[in-house]
Amino acid sequence: MSAERIFIIGGTGNIGVKAVNDLLDNKIPVTLYARNPQKVASLFSNDLVSVIQGDFKDLSPIKEGVKGHTRLFLLVSDFFDFVNIKKTIATYAYEAGVKQIVDISSFVVNLGWRSTSIGSIHYYAEKAIYDIPNRGHFVTLRPGRFMSNHLGMMRPLTDKGLFDNGAPDSPQGWISTNDIGAVAAVVLREDVNKHMDAVYSLISDVVTSNERAAMLTRITGQDIKYTQISPVEKYHKIMESGHFPHVFALDLVTDLDGHGDDKPSPVIEILLGRKPETVEEYLTANKNNLK
């Protein structure tokens, strides 16, 4: 068994499950912080998995629970108190002797300071951890558009098409959640001095919206077309869903063209020793989850 012991925050979603499974495949013991231990048991049947029950309202179980661990995987999806949650967890970890944190941030941080609301909270969370005195290493992953959005935010079968405000033939970068989790697991098991305080922006594949529609047509056998709508139309469609506040809806109509998401990230293949997962491969593997 490895001398490493990884504390996992956010281990039951798509990214976390992939990271945990890759660590377990390498015989590295993990401890998951989770609201529902039964869910953890249903996802991982392995003697190398431990669970500490808790949520983000009370982080005190982490202060004791993280002791004895060498590294921390940090993925927080609760935006209500995002910066403070991440800073508090990171502080507990470094005080306990954790030598490396691998944090899941966002590609939109690259757009610049206070250019988007989502980018801003991720920026301030990164900075809060970076500025912790006498901390260990801090590796940040900044993924772009999630391919998994096709399974939730978009409903190509129900809507009989794809609708967005990007130009039909404009290249867009997409990231596989499998690639994010795999990269995180590699960083968590390699020498901390190799990655130091690295920042890795992650794009797996680049396709146009028309190409995505054609892929979905091939995969599902249904005629899926791409329709370009205005940013205002997209904003109202997002708000009608009831899932996003106003400021996040504005972010989601922001055009990322020209901000470096138009080419795959070499670091994915460099670290994984394989090509990144393509959009078509991801959609084919998740065909039964399309709505």
Mention every residue, 6+ apart, whose C-beta is less than 8 A from residue 115.
Answer: 108
Q: Which residue has the tokens 């997409």?
A: 174
Cβ–Cβ under 8 Å, residues 7 and 16: no
Residue ranges per structural domain of the chain: 6-146+176-203+262-273
Task: Tell me which of 19-23, 61-65, 249-253 is least confident.
Answer: 249-253
Give the pLDDT confidence of 19-37 residue by residue, as tens digits: 999 999 999 999 999 999 9
pLDDT at residue number 6: 99
Give the mean model confidence (pLDDT) for residues 98-113.
95
- The mean pLDDT of the chain is 95
Is-above-0.75 flag for pTM?
A: yes
Determine the topology of domain 6-146+176-203+262-273 in CATH: Rossmann fold (3.40.50)
pLDDT at position 64 over 80: yes
For residue 52, give the H/E element and its range. Answer: strand 49-53
Q: Which amino acid is at 236?
A: H
